[in-house]
Amino acid sequence: LSSAATHPADEHALVAHHFESLEQQRDAGALGMWLFLASEVLFFGGIFTAYAMLRYRDPAGFAAGTDRLNATIGGINTAVLLTSSLTMALAVWASQSKNGKLLRLFLALTLTFGASFLGIKAYEWYHEYEEGLVPGRVKLTDPEGKTGTGFGYKPDGTPSEAVEKLTLPQRRSMELFFVFYFIITGLHALHMVIGLAVLGIQLALALRSDFGVRDYGPIEISGLYWHFVDVVWIFVFPLLYLLRT
Amino acid sequence: MAHQPIKPRTYVLIYVALLLLTATTVYVARYMHLEKAEVAVALGIASVKTLLVGIFFMHLIHSRPLTWLIMVVGLLFLFALISITLSDYWTRGWMPVRALSPACLWG
């Protein structure tokens, strides 16, 4: 990990023995990430397919769920994530331009915006927990049926106003909407956490050595993953927060 | 692949376009009441945003045909997954499952 490796003459030191050149090594790495992302498309695609199917079955109940989400907060969070994608793209550019200072700055900014996204998401989840929108079976604790646990009941056991006035079938499909909501946003957040961990390690390496300056391959590959997670959210946002049909 | 890196100015322009498209999709969904066309418009805007991210942020514009092939094959499989699944559900009379009593599932 010596800084001497930045010199073109030492390029061969960065190339693994089964590659002919640094360029071929980078291409192979990026191609591997694209293959992984193609499989991720199907991972999220399967969930979206099930969502489309069940939403088609009962649009009104799903729309009732969408109404409980705050599209303004969701929109702001979309902007935060798009901003993190911009700073990630600029981090890759800084890496390609061999500018270590800007690389560290843009990696730090990407981490900041990514963490902000998760913070806003956590605030939303907490709000939904308070509203009694977390799916689960109802267990009534008093014979009058006034208090319970699970979907439609707040943490203190009182019925949620958002759910109370709905008919039983409407409640069912609204609960189904929130099953999808928590699975989709949860899996997306998991991908974000993994992305933040990778970028955090890369920033730590870039602070200690010429990592990312001697070879932009690793930064470019994390960038591909980060932008993909952004693309997933580009579909999650309208599907969960906006559509009412 | 040896090429000129995309300039920061291009990235910023793409970013502004992405923000404008996000604002558009929120505006359309909230104020235009397109009914059935709503889904098509929202997914159309999301697809345009995806293309912008893919082509510029993910450097597809400079990528080898092999990278494009992997992406296109991935999308083909996604198309097969969605179309074959939904055509099954929509043509076999499986869709309105409300005959199933909610009472047996709830409470």
Reported as a single tens digit per residue, the pLDDT across B28-87 is 998 888 877 888 999 999 999 999 999 999 999 988 899 999 999 999 999 999 999 988
Specify the pLDDT at position A168: 84
Give residue B102's pLDDT band: very low, low, confident or very high (50, 70, 90). Answer: very low
| More confident site: A224 or B62 | A224
Specify the pLDDT at position B18: 98
Name which of A5-14, A31-40, A55-64 the model is least confident about: A5-14
Instruction: For residues A190 and A192, give the distance between their C-alpha atoms in angstroms, rounded to a whole number.
Output: 5
Residue A240 DSSP one-character state? I
Q: What is the pTM of this model?
A: 0.90
The two most distant CA atoms of chain B are separated, in Å, by 64
- Whether A57 sits inside 8 A of B53 (CB atoms) is no
% pLDDT > 90, chain A: 71
Q: What are the pLDDT digits (tens) for A123-158?
A: 999 999 999 999 987 777 777 767 778 898 888 888
Instruction: For residues A43 and A232, give the distance between their C-alpha atoms in angstroms, rounded to a whole number.
Output: 11
Q: What are the pLDDT digits (tens) for A111-122?
A: 999 999 999 999
CA of A25: which chain B residue's CA is closest?
B1
* Whether A216 contacts A100, CB under 8 Å: no
Instruction: For residues A211 and A199, give the distance between their C-alpha atoms in angstroms, rounded to a whole number.
Output: 12
Specify the pLDDT at position A117: 98
Specify the pLDDT at position A137: 77
List chain B residues with CB under 8 Å of A93: 5-8, 11
Average pLDDT in the A10-23 region? 85
Specify the pLDDT at position B88: 86
List chain B residues with CB under 8 Å of A90: 8, 11
- Whether B42 sits inside 8 A of A239 (CB atoms) is yes
Specify the pLDDT at position B96: 61
Residue A179 forms contact with B (CB below 8 Å): no
* Residue A111, min C-alpha distance to chain B (Å): 17
List chain B residues with CB under 8 Å of A25: none
Which strand (E) or helix (H) includes residue A148?
Answer: strand A148-149
Specify the pLDDT at position B3: 66
List chain B residues with CB under 8 Å of A225: none
- In this structure, which amino acid lies at residue B33? H
Size of interface A-B (CB pairs under 8 A): 147
Name the residue among B52, B49, B50, B36 with its Cα closest to residue B78. B50
Rg (CA), chain B: 20
